[in-house]
Amino acid sequence: MPDIPGAKPVPLSQLTRAEDRLTFIYLEHSVVHRDANAITAHDARGTVHIPAATLGALLLGPGTTVSQQAMVLLAESGSTAVWVGEHGVRYYAHGRSLARSSRLLEAQAALVSDRQSRLHVARRMYAMRFPDDDTTGLSMQQLRGKEGARVRRIYRENANRTGIEWTRRDYDSADFDSGTVVNQALSAANTSLYGVVHAAIVALGCAPGLGFVHTGHVRSFVFDIADLYKADIAIPIAFDIATAQPMDVGAETRRAVRDYLRRHAFLERCVSDVKDLLRGEDEEPVEYGPDALDGPDVVMLWDYDDGEVEGGVSYPEVPDL
């Protein structure tokens, strides 16, 4: 048999378990290539080698050029590449997901497709914002009202803290400059948060469009997850920026959000929250590795009675019943 062109895939035995990998590495203004089983990043200061099998996600920022062979190695190593803005504050595109298993995606689809399970996840999302209150018996209308009152209170608190005059959230998505300074900063902060959350969601192999609270938009799940953090991140930062009255509100806000997310290891928190919401309260974390049944490169067959059975097996003929 003639040799198959291209580099050979990395053996599964050489891959590192997901929980033992580097969460992500961010690169900018560099040329990304491949040297054996390592990703190389080259700039004016020299070349850095990054073992691909230990990498979760490679975030490619402004000024990066990546080779085809680098992308091949990332794919074969169970890693992913996400093209982002400066320090990840915007999401642009992604390669294959970090996940080799479809468990999270299937869990998301199953949960959002059933009325009761969707309500359960939505309640858990709201419960994360009201840790001292019991939300288990509240309807969606009650939860929306409770959340609306909370957000209005947080706006008032930050306005009083900074001395900024506040009336209401008012903006035109097609005309950024038409809003007040604080509304401009809020729009920029929210957009930055959406970008980082979007990058985390696609890296996990989840569907950005399958939301539980939001619906009908290709980023519904992104909005769901980002809303968990706006009160702690986007709103305070926006009012602080408005107080400083910078020349470029959008740029200063994006940098402030970027720096906050880096300091507080936000990506790790976001990934953990997404997994917990989709995995359920009582389900144990899934172990992924070369020997795990539902780990990398294992394909199962759907079965009506048993859920799933092992693939790659020549099953005997079953007589008609």
Residue type, 70: A
CB 66, CB 32: distance < 8 Å: yes
Determine the Cα–Cα distance for residues 267 and 78; give it in Å rounded to an integer: 18
**Which segments of the chain are extended strands (E)?**
22-27, 31-35, 38-43, 46-51, 55-60, 65-66, 80-84, 91-94, 300-303, 307-310
Among 89, 18, 113, which Cα is nearest to 57's?
18
For residue 311, give every residue at least 6 positions away whose Cβ sits within 8 Å of its Cβ, in sequence order, or none. Answer: 298, 299, 300, 301
For residue 195, give every residue at least 6 positions away whose Cβ sits within 8 Å of its Cβ, in sequence order, or none. Answer: 84, 85, 88, 89, 90, 91
Q: Is 214 annotated as a binding residue?
A: yes
Give the number of C-alpha atoms closer than 13 A to the C-alpha of residue 93, restricted to the C-beta side. Answer: 2
Determine the Cα–Cα distance for residues 180 and 166; give it in Å rounded to an integer: 10
The distance of Cα 29 from the centroid of its chain, to the nearest Å, equals 23
Among 29, 68, 28, 73, which Cα is nearest to 50's?
73
Q: Is 120 annotated as a binding residue?
A: no
Determine the Cα–Cα distance for residues 41 and 32; give it in Å rounded to an integer: 5
Q: Which residues are annotated as a binding site for Mn(2+)?
A: 147, 214, 227
Q: Which residues are annotated as a binding site?
A: 147, 214, 227
